[in-house]
Amino acid sequence: MSTNTPHLRALACGIAVALITCLASSAGADEKKKDEQPTEQPPPETAKPSESPISATDTALRSYFKEYVGLSSNPDKGVYLTFAKGADLEAAANLAREVWTKTSGQEGKLPNFEFVQAVATPEALKEARLKMRDVLTIKDVVFLDLDESCGCIVVGAVSKEVNSRIASFIKERGINSRWVKIIETPKYRFTADLTSKFRPTMGGQQIRTIGNSCTLGLPVYSWQMHADGILTASHCTQGPQGQLWATAFLQGPGSQDFIADESLDLPLFMNGTNNNHPDCPDQRLCRYSDVVFANYWGNVGIRGRISRPTALCATPGATCPLAIDRPTDDIRIAQATSGLFTGTLVDKVGMRSGWTRGPVANTCTDVNVVEVDSAGIEHETDMTMLCQTLVATVALPGDSGAPVFEYYTGYDAGNFAGILWGASTNSQMAVYSPIDGIERDLGTFTYNQAGLNAAFYSDGEFYTSNLDDRLTVKVEHGVMAPDVVEVVLIAAPGISARKDIVLEEGWNGSNGRWTITTSGTVTTARNGLYTYQLPGGYMEFRKRIGNNNSNPMQDVSRVPIDHIAGGTRLTFTWTDD
């Protein structure tokens, strides 16, 4: 520890994660032998998600109780378990408590479990929902959902005037009308309108095609294309939706700033005489996702990163500023997540309405889509997106393609959930394609970047936002006093240009900053913080490009340090720059 400061230096250990209307508004390799075939070095698989308590509870109840329909959550009131008549509710409650406690650990808080009685058995509801498929062909019907929160089928319609037509449809299909709930809802439109140029590119930033502005969803690796690229909304491409026109995606104000080419899309399908797709309503055009993959033009993006705006807006209907403190601020995807439940809070970062948050309102919902022109006139598209997720958060034209994710507060990390493509015509509800549908249409992807877990718990690698950088990290627990953390910076052989790690303490009122530096012959430096300085603090990584001392230092990454355990020493060895 340095002795020329009034207290211990700040260790900022951040989350080096790399586990996992149209909203469009190095050195050369050794020479190979002629008969030697190059071996592709694929990225690591996405880290396997750790099962959440709510997911584990759902799986257990589904396995043990034939009457179980599903569950939903409410952050304020607890978890609702939906069963048909005849279930042993006491046994179900005991199993739910047991599984939740086991999965969450001793620190987990057991929620209040409440029961909802379904209108019919799970099998009967599934059969009735299939019979209800073509209700989506009725004018002004918006969506169809088997809603676990009520144990019933929900039909969304634009007004009560549609109810009589829905009622006639239900009667014709021989479905018990008491099983169906009709709600009033706006239509869902594509939404075509963080707008600066960025290198490297990350999710949440503006991208453009000829005539459209959209949001870059997430840089990923496609196992079908064996290439790095981006996910965004399919309707943002040129030509008819689902047709592969090799649309060029641009960023920034220039007309030549190309970043990616459309390379993986899927045609819309029908359920007609020659097209046997039973999930699609009669004579409608369907897909399981409104998502496209585009190959990067060169090394211009970082897999699994989303730009982090300065502010989050969690108030329903609120839009957020698009400002970013620094281009290197990011949210790192730890892993992918699917099967989210009603009530789960998810975030999105869109180039038009910014970083917003809201609860999942409906899951696996079939949604009809309309387009809205510049005069505000709605036009039917005859398209239905199957098994989509509705979220109570704002989305505006230009947000199409935005990444949707669960956010880990204090880690600047998250679990990727899907790609936003539209919003209700009043902009108060968003709709996104979840991962299951994306992979059903386009194949599998790696959503995260190689590296450490979310809080430097074990040895690994750390990557900055400069594509040339690579650091190895050694994590030693219990080697310092329990209320102290230490950070060591080592410049590996061949690394001589100045490197910094700046430790910035958090919310204790001092806001102190201390710099750990290597340069030239000084190849090792260290400093640290007391644990009370960590919450709200950051660890900043800076470097000098080249060995000219007159060159300015550049910020290349900033990560939070909230969750570093006391007694830890972190040793960063800068191996590539």
For residue range 167-208, what is the model confidence (pLDDT) as tens digits? Answer: 999 999 999 999 999 999 999 988 654 456 667 788 888 888
Place of tokens 């169809």: 144
Q: Do 393 and 334 lie in a common domain?
A: yes
Write phi, then psi, for 228 (nearest 5 degrees).
-85, 150
> How many C-beta neighbours within 10 Å does residue 102 have?
13
Identity of the residue numbered 81: L
Domain boundary among 392, 426, 450: 450
Please tell me the predicted confidence (pLDDT) of residue 51. Answer: 67
218 in any annotated domain: yes
Q: Do 381 and 486 lie in a common domain?
A: no
434 in any annotated domain: yes
pLDDT in tens, 304-333: 999 999 889 887 777 788 888 888 889 999
332 in any annotated domain: yes
Q: Do 389 and 469 lie in a common domain?
A: no
How many angstroms separate the CA atoms of 17 and 406, rounded? Answer: 14
Place of tokens 């939706």: 241
Beta strand 206-209 pairing with 445-446: unpaired
Helix then strand count (H, E) for the chain reads 5, 34
Q: Do 195 and 344 lie in a common domain?
A: yes
HEC secondary structure over 155-206: EEECCHHHHHHHHHHHHHCCCCHHHEEEEECCCEEECCCCCCCCCCEEECCE
The half-sphere exposure of 32 on its side-chain side, counting CA atoms within 13 A, is 8
Q: Do 487 and 439 lie in a common domain?
A: no
Taking alpha carbons only, the member of 574, 328, 557, 554 closest to residue 471 is 574
The pair of structure tokens assigned to 3 is 């002795």
8 in any annotated domain: no
Place of tokens 């075939």: 37
410 in any annotated domain: yes
| Cis status, amide bond into 200, omega within 30 of 0 | yes
33 in any annotated domain: no
Domain that holds residue 335: 17-25+46-450
Beta bridge partners of 372: 378
Please tell me the predicted confidence (pLDDT) of residue 545. Answer: 86
Q: Do 431 and 542 lie in a common domain?
A: no
Please tell me the predicted confidence (pLDDT) of residue 512. Answer: 87
Place of tokens 């929620």: 111
Number of domains in the chain: 2
Identity of the residue numbered 164: S
The pair of structure tokens assigned to 194 is 């963080």
How many angstroms separate the CA atoms of 167 and 153, rounded? Answer: 13
Please tell me the predicted confidence (pLDDT) of residue 253. Answer: 61
Please tell me the predicted confidence (pLDDT) of residue 322. Answer: 85
297 in any annotated domain: yes
Domain boundary among 428, 450, 472: 450
Please tell me the predicted confidence (pLDDT) of residue 450. Answer: 73
The pair of structure tokens assigned to 366 is 């079939």
Contact residues for 263 (Cβ-Cβ < 8 A; gap 6+): 225, 227, 229, 244, 246, 293, 294, 295
The half-sphere exposure of 390 on its side-chain side, counting CA atoms within 13 A, is 27
Q: Do 482 and 506 lie in a common domain?
A: yes
Please tell me the predicted confidence (pLDDT) of residue 345. Answer: 94
Q: Which helix (H) or strand (E) holds 172?
A: helix 163-172
Q: Do 92 and 227 lie in a common domain?
A: yes
Please tell me the predicted confidence (pLDDT) of residue 6. Answer: 30
Q: Contact at 8 Å (CB) between 71 and 54?
A: yes
Contact residues for 389 (Cβ-Cβ < 8 A; gap 6+): 340, 360, 362, 363, 364, 365, 404, 417, 418, 431, 432, 433, 434
Q: Which helix (H) or strand (E) holds 385?
A: strand 378-391
Contact residues for 558 (Cβ-Cβ < 8 A; gap 6+): 14, 326, 328, 329, 538, 539, 540, 541
Cα dist. 139→134, 277, 279, 299, 383 in Å? 11, 21, 19, 47, 13
Domain boundary among 450, 484, 499: 450
Please tell me the predicted confidence (pLDDT) of residue 208. Answer: 84
Q: Do 270 and 289 lie in a common domain?
A: yes
Taking alpha carbons only, the member of 530, 533, 529, 522 closest to residue 500 is 522
Place of tokens 């300065």: 310
Q: What are the strands, taking DSSP E only, across 443-546? A: 445-446, 460-462, 470-476, 484-491, 499-504, 513-518, 524-530, 538-544
How many angstroms separate the CA atoms of 322 and 181, rounded? Answer: 39
Place of tokens 């470097």: 543
In eight-state DSSP terms, residue 150 is T
Specify the 3-state DSSP secondary structure of 276: coil
Instruction: Taking the CA atoms of 473, 479, 482 and 483 in sequence, report the sign of the dihedral they define.
Output: negative
Q: Do 379 and 525 lie in a common domain?
A: no
499 in any annotated domain: yes
Q: Contact at 8 Å (CB) between 257 and 199?
A: no
In the chain, % helix, strand, coil (3-state, to 5) comes to 15, 40, 50
The pTM score is 0.81
Specify the 3-state DSSP secondary structure of 66: coil
Instruction: Taking the CA atoms of 173, 178, 179 and 182 in sequence, report the sign of the dihedral they define.
Output: positive
How many angstroms separate the CA atoms of 338 and 55, rounded? Answer: 10
Please tell me the predicted confidence (pLDDT) of residue 4. Answer: 36
* Low-confidence residues in the chain, pLDDT < 70: 1-51, 105-108, 191-198, 252-256, 272-276, 452-454, 508-510
Cα dist. 429→149, 186, 300, 392, 448 in Å? 18, 9, 33, 5, 28
Q: Do 438 and 478 lie in a common domain?
A: no
Q: Do 465 and 442 lie in a common domain?
A: no
Please tell me the predicted confidence (pLDDT) of residue 35. Answer: 42
